[in-house]
Structure 1
Amino acid sequence: MNRRNNCLSFALMLAAGVTLCAPLQAQDNGRGKTTSILAVSWQPAFCETKPNKPECKTQTADRYDANHFALHGLWPMRKNYCGVDQADIDADKKGRWTDLSEVKLSATTREALDKLMPGTQSALERHEWIKHGTCTNLSQEDYFAEAISLLDTLNASKVNALFAAQVGKAVTQDQVQSAFDESFGAGAGRRVKMRCEQDGDRRIVTELTIGLGDGDPKTPLANRIQAAGGTKFDCDQGIVDPVGLQ
Structure 2
Amino acid sequence: MAWKAAVLLIFACLAFARPSGARDPVAPVMPPLLATRTVFSVSWLPGFCETRAKRPECREQTAERFDARHFTLHGLWPVKKRFCGVSADLRRTDRRGRWLELPAVDLSKATAERLATVMPGIRSGLDRHQWLASGTCQPLSPEAYFARQIAFLDRLNASPVRALFESRLGMSVRQEEVAAAFAEAFGDGAGTRIRLRCARDGSRTVITGMTIGLGGEGGLEGDMAELILASAQTRGTCLEGVVDAAGLQ
TM-score, structure 2 as length reference: 0.85
Q: Which moved more, 1:103-112 or 1:183-192?
A: 103-112
Q: What is the CA–CA distance in structure 1 between the aligned matches of 2:79 and 2:220, rounded to whole Å?
A: 16
Q: What is the CA–CA distance in structure 2 between the aligned matches of 1:102 and 1:55, rounded to whole Å?
A: 18
1:195, CA displacement in angstroms?
1.5
Q: Map 1:64-103; keep pairs closer than 5 Å.
A: 64-103=66-105
1:245, CA displacement in angstroms?
5.4
| 2:35 match: secondary structure | coil
| Equivalent position of 2:38 in the other structure | 36
Q: What is the CA–CA distance in structure 2 between the aligned matches of 1:110 and 1:68, rounded to whole Å?
A: 19
| 1:74 match: secondary structure | strand
Q: Which runs of 4+ in 1 moved over 6 A?
A: none
1:194, CA displacement in angstroms?
0.6
Q: 2:158 aligns with which of 151, 156, 159?
A: 156
| 1:108 match: secondary structure | helix
Q: What is the CA–CA distance in structure 1 between the aligned matches of 2:237 and 2:123, rounded to whole Å?
A: 30
In the alignment, is the contact (CA less than 8 A) between 1:76 and 1:136 conserved in 2?
yes
1:138, CA displacement in angstroms?
1.2
| Equivalent position of 1:50 in the other structure | 52
Q: What is the CA–CA distance in structure 2 between the aligned matches of 1:143 and 1:233, rounded to whole Å?
A: 26
Q: What is the CA–CA distance in structure 1 between the aligned matches of 2:75 and 2:174, rounded to whole Å?
A: 24
Q: 2:113 aligns with which of 111, 114, 119?
A: 111
1:233, CA displacement in angstroms?
3.2
| Equivalent position of 1:222 in the other structure | 225
Which protein shows a greater Rg?
2
Deviation track 1:179-199 (CA, whole Å, cap 9, x = no partner) reads: 000000000000000111111
Q: Map 1:158-237; keep pairs closer than 5 Å.
A: 158-215=160-217, 217=220, 219-237=222-240
Q: What is the letter of the counterpart of residue 111 of structure 1?
A: E
In the alignment, is the contact (CA less than 8 A) between 1:91 and 1:100 conserved in 2?
yes
1:108, CA displacement in angstroms?
1.3
1:217, CA displacement in angstroms?
4.7
| 1:143 match: secondary structure | helix
TM-score, structure 1 as length reference: 0.86
In the alignment, is the contact (CA less than 8 A) between 2:160 and 2:182 conserved in 1?
yes
| Equivalent position of 1:12 in the other structure | none
Deviation track 1:86-116 (CA, whole Å, cap 9, x = no partner) reads: 0000000100111111101011111111111
Identity of aligned residues (%): 48
In the alignment, is the contact (CA less than 8 A) between 2:38 and 2:215 conserved in 1?
yes
Structure 2 unaligned spans of 5+: 1-32
Q: What is the CA–CA distance in structure 2 between the aligned matches of 1:241 and 1:51, rounded to whole Å?
A: 14
In the alignment, is the contact (CA less than 8 A) between 1:173 and 1:233 conserved in 2?
no
1:174, CA displacement in angstroms?
1.5
Q: What is the letter of the counterpart of residue 242 of structure 2?
A: I
| 2:67 match: secondary structure | helix
Q: Which moved more, 1:173-182 or 1:206-215?
A: 206-215
In the alignment, is the contact (CA less than 8 A) between 1:81 and 1:135 conserved in 2?
yes
Q: Which moved more, 1:209-218 or 1:129-138?
A: 209-218
Q: What is the letter of the counterpart of residue 145 of structure 1?
A: A
Structure 1 unaligned spans of 5+: 1-30
| 1:126 match: secondary structure | helix
Q: What is the letter of the counterpart of residue 141 of structure 1?
A: E
Q: What is the CA–CA distance in structure 2 between the aligned matches of 1:115 and 1:214, rounded to whole Å?
A: 29
In the alignment, is the contact (CA less than 8 A) between 1:191 and 1:231 conserved in 2?
yes
Q: What is the CA–CA distance in structure 2 between the aligned matches of 1:231 and 1:32, rounded to whole Å?
A: 11
Q: What is the CA–CA distance in structure 1 between the aligned matches of 2:187 and 2:176, rounded to whole Å?
A: 15
In the alignment, is the contact (CA less than 8 A) between 2:39 and 2:77 conserved in 1?
yes
| 2:206 match: secondary structure | strand
| 2:200 match: secondary structure | strand
Q: What is the CA–CA distance in structure 2 between the aligned matches of 1:120 and 1:203, rounded to whole Å?
A: 26
1:137, CA displacement in angstroms?
1.4
| Equivalent position of 1:238 in the other structure | 241
Q: What is the CA–CA distance in structure 1 between the aligned matches of 2:67 and 2:94, rounded to whole Å?
A: 25
Answering whether residue 136 of structure 2 is matched by residue 134 of structure 1, we say: yes
1:234, CA displacement in angstroms?
2.1
Aligned residues: 217
